[in-house]
Amino acid sequence: MNMILHGVEAPNIIHTNTLAENLNDIQEKDRYNIILANPPFGGKERVEVQQNFPIKTGETASLFMQHFIKILKAGGKAGVVIKNTFLSNTDNATVAIRKELLQSCNLHTVLDLPGGTFTGAGVKTVVLFFEKGKPTDKTWFYQLNLDRNLGKTNPLNENDLADFVELQKTFAESENSWTLNIKDIDQSTFDLSAKNPNTPEAAPLRKPKQILEQMRTLDEESAEILKEIWEMI
């Protein structure tokens, strides 16, 4: 219905399980220039399906990541929505896939989305932007911070992404963006869960004695003002 509303009346849709295709069977004619995808979160695949992939895992999203990397043409570009835990999970499969992604593709941008972006997902998500054909040297991160809660009646909109789109053109640093040198990460885990180094430091919490002293000072000032008012009456 969505495609019909957008004028795509005869889409070329094939009803099949993409993961049932053996990666070794993918030929150059099967590859794509652009991939935009949002693989399912938390899904599990049968053991026989896992045999189609060099890195065995039951995690559906991890199998799709291998599929996307394999089916991209050299120079092909991808934008993939995935759980933010993909950046840091330490299981052997996820570590191996992160390594493959960084070594075979240029993961140039990671967009960190706020909770509630995808209603019902129950997890935070990131968008990975990468280009196949050369290894990753640096990755630019953008942490999307909004002053409202997202939900079904208050979804993410184009204006929310305006700052990201503008800064991403030059990979500029800001309060919400920073660059990570891949040579600086742990080369055994390829952990990409970098914290924003540009976040302003929160003001230190005051000690109880300081709070009480300030309250006493304010009380004394209030009493003085009340005294002056009484004298004027």
What is the average pLDDT value for the chain, to the nearest integer? 90
- Residue 198, pLDDT score: 84
- Sequence ranges of the domains in the chain: 2-202, 203-233
Q: Hey, which bits of 38-154 come out as E strands?
A: 72-83, 105-112, 125-132, 138-143
Round to whole Å and give the CA distance between 209 and 212: 5
Residue 79's Cβ-count burial label (10 Å; 0-12, 13-18, 19+) is middle
Q: Is the pTM of this model over 0.75?
A: yes
Handedness of CA 112, 118, 123, 128 (dihedral sign): negative
Rg (alpha carbons) of the chain, rounded to whole number: 25
Of 12-21, 156-165, 180-189, where does mean pLDDT reach its minimum? 12-21
Look up the CATH architecture of domain 2-202: 3-Layer(aba) Sandwich (3.40)
Mean pLDDT value across residues 51-58: 94
- Residue 204, pLDDT score: 65
Question: Is the model more confident about 100 or about 208?
Answer: 100
